Structure 1
């Protein structure tokens, strides 16, 4: 089974999205460099989508098309989907998740689904809170080899402790105010300052198609 790794930026954005809306389900997309590198899927960025209605809708279709188009211009691709459930012990994937993953799988093969383990969403992050599944042999199987960069948990802890997650913008926020940057350039800068390391490549908005 191939390995999956997450950059500090991708991890912190996922955790911040869940922390900003602790009483809601949240979801988003995972971004990887194209082409994939060997037997490891490297998630370099994540894009927060919704915290209100996670079901497949015209808005989610539009978001998928926009992100796919922008990713292609950056030599990246949509490599998966993440979800945080409302209840503490729910690690399941719902039907909307599978529908979105089916759409992603129409174009890509090296992809994964992630559900956040709410039990590990502590203000002092001690363990990777992401439960990762990959599609292999026709089934979604939990991936036992999941890596995060050095310093990621410390950076995520600082963001939670300082409540910096409140500045994260998801697509729902963007729909309420189209001037908001749902690719979170400023939040990426915050992660870089907090972690003390370069956050690396990230998805950037092409103003002509945003």
Structure 2
């Protein structure tokens, strides 16, 4: 069974994006390492290494989404990465559905990268302790999105460490450091690549690895 693995940076940025705007729906895209061929075929396993927060105001304004995706694609290519997925969290606590505009973005990503994934954040699993993985992951295959078994969705490092790092970041209100594309459009000096948040997440993960 193909596996999808999230780095600490990717997972924590998704959680921080949701936590920064608890009153709103949010979305973003996922970057992955290009799967290496095995026995002449490309593996469907995905290693998601980063998340790029997009919007929290109006999630599907096409011109802004196109501008953002074009810039992200350029940055990904320059780093030998690929745009490999789409994530969203809905405004309603119990809503784990994917709307049609979100599906269109995910489908477009899958056109260019066949093992792409579609991630919905289960808001009910968010807490200051983050004991449960809050992601519902689907992967594209045979022309449709198929929800993956939770056992095939992995997080970087030993069991529980990424969740512990995410919990520590939330308890420290580190979501305030996260910049999404809406923030960047309001103030272009704010970097949507999130160098500050990346450093903070990396430090939190290392601290949880070596307490």
- Asked if these proteins are the same fold (TM beyond 0.5), I'd say yes
Point out which structure has higher relative CO (alpha carbons under 8 A, 6+ apart): 1
2:56 maps to what in 1? 51
Native 8 Å contact 1:56 1:100 kept in 2: no
Native 8 Å contact 1:93 1:115 kept in 2: yes
Within-5 A mapping of 1:52-91: 52-91=57-96
Q: Return the match for 1:178 from 157, 170, 188.
A: 188
Within-5 A mapping of 1:5-154: 5-36=5-36, 38-144=43-149, 145-149=152-156, 150=158, 151-154=161-164
CA apart distance, 1:39: 3.8
Native 8 Å contact 1:6 1:43 kept in 2: yes
Q: Secondary structure at the match of 1:128?
A: coil
Q: Which runs of 5+ in 2 are unaligned?
A: 38-42
CA apart distance, 1:194: 1.2
Q: Does the C-alpha gap of structure 1 residues 58 and 156 become closer, same or farther in structure 2, counting only changes over 3 Å?
A: same
Q: Do structure 1's residue 190 and structure 2's residue 200 form an aligned pair? A: yes
- Summarize deviations over 1:48-101 as a string: whole Å, max 9, x none: 000000114100001011111111111101000000000111110011111111
Native 8 Å contact 2:17 2:53 kept in 1: yes
CA apart distance, 1:40: 1.5
CA apart distance, 1:104: 1.1
CA root-mean-square deviation: 1.5
Task: Give me the whole-angstrom Cα distance separating, in 2, the residues matched to 1:99 and 1:169.
Answer: 24
Runs of 4+ in 1 over 4 A off after TM superposition: none
Native 8 Å contact 1:36 1:42 kept in 2: no
CA apart distance, 1:36: 4.8
Q: Does the C-alpha gap of structure 1 residues 36 and 17 become closer, same or farther in structure 2, counting only changes over 3 Å?
A: farther
Q: Does the C-alpha gap of structure 1 residues 98 and 122 become closer, same or farther in structure 2, counting only changes over 3 Å?
A: same
Q: In proportion to residue count, which structure has more helix?
A: 2
Native 8 Å contact 2:35 2:45 kept in 1: no
Native 8 Å contact 2:115 2:141 kept in 1: no
1:205 maps to what in 2? none
Task: Give me the whole-angstrom Cα distance separating, in 1, the residues matched to 2:201 and 2:165.
Answer: 7
Native 8 Å contact 2:138 2:145 kept in 1: yes
Native 8 Å contact 1:56 1:96 kept in 2: no
